[in-house]
Amino acid sequence: MPTPPFPDESTTLLLDGPAGPLEVAVDPPEGETAPHPVIAVLCHPLSTEGGSMHNKVVTMVARALRELGVTTVRFNFRSVGASAGSYDNGDGEQDDLRAVVAWVRAQRPDSAVWLAGFSFGAYVSLRASGDLQPQALISIAPPVGRRTWDFERLQPPANWLVVQGDADEVVDAQAVYTWLETLADPPQLVRMPDTSHFFHRKLIDLRGAIQHEVRRWLPDGSC
């Protein structure tokens, strides 16, 4: 499959991934905000439970970043949408993420790469951060304590934000907070009261929290 160039306008394309084609959506910054040389790659929630790059939390995180002048890249893990392959419990999905980031860096070598993930996507992006060395990482409701996913020996970047709802019915919020307390270099943590896993009626609050926290990571520290 020919390698597509990085688009300047919103579009969906196919990349050659480790298990076959990967479906990728690229969107430039929104509004009148000056664009920054930053590209954020976003990872969606669990494939086997209906997760995709069109998940409303993922699209809201992407919107929040684009309003700050960041270009966003969403993609479907293997087995989702037009992406080939089979679900691989986070291992193959890390390879999918690596393939997307490799394409971004090859096409836009002068841009910083940020990673973001929601739920299962937070796990995948955290696991891959040690290899990928992103300039920043956003983890929304990381699924600590669920299934067999390993949250030990991670290497997140110094610029790391975790957003967790206190009323999460899928992820044990207290398990997340306890885990973060064990880390030598804990992230910036935003606890959202009365907030469920999928941020029902809280998506606007999520957008504001992300923009408030990550604005200082932009190249000029503002937007």
Reported as a pLDDT band with limits 50, 70 and 90, residue 31 is confident
Is the pLDDT at 223 greater than 50? The verdict is no
pLDDT of 221 reads 57
What domains, with CATH codes, occur in the chain? 11-217 (3.40.50.1820)
pLDDT of 220 reads 75
How deeply is 13 buried, as exposed, middle or buried, from its count of CB atoms within 10 A (0-12, 13-18, 19+)? Answer: middle
Task: List, as own/partner pairs, every contact residues 99-103 make where C-beta atoms lie below 8 angstroms and the sequence separation is at least 24, other chains included.
Answer: 99/15, 99/16, 99/17, 99/18, 99/22, 100/15, 100/17, 100/22, 100/24, 100/41, 100/73, 100/75, 101/41, 101/132, 101/134, 103/3, 103/6, 103/15, 103/24
pLDDT tens digits, 149-158: 999 989 999 9
pLDDT tens digits, 196-218: 999 999 999 999 999 999 999 99
pLDDT tens digits, 91-147: 999 999 999 999 999 999 999 999 999 999 999 999 999 999 999 999 999 999 877
Average pLDDT over residues 174-187: 96
Reported as a pLDDT band with limits 50, 70 and 90, residue 222 is low
Is the pLDDT at 18 greater than 50? The verdict is yes
203: left (phi over 0), alpha (psi -120 to 50) or beta: alpha
Contact at 8 Å (CB) between 122 and 143?
yes
Task: Round the average pLDDT of the chain to a whole number and report it.
Answer: 96
Contact at 8 Å (CB) between 113 and 41?
yes
Reported pTM: 0.96
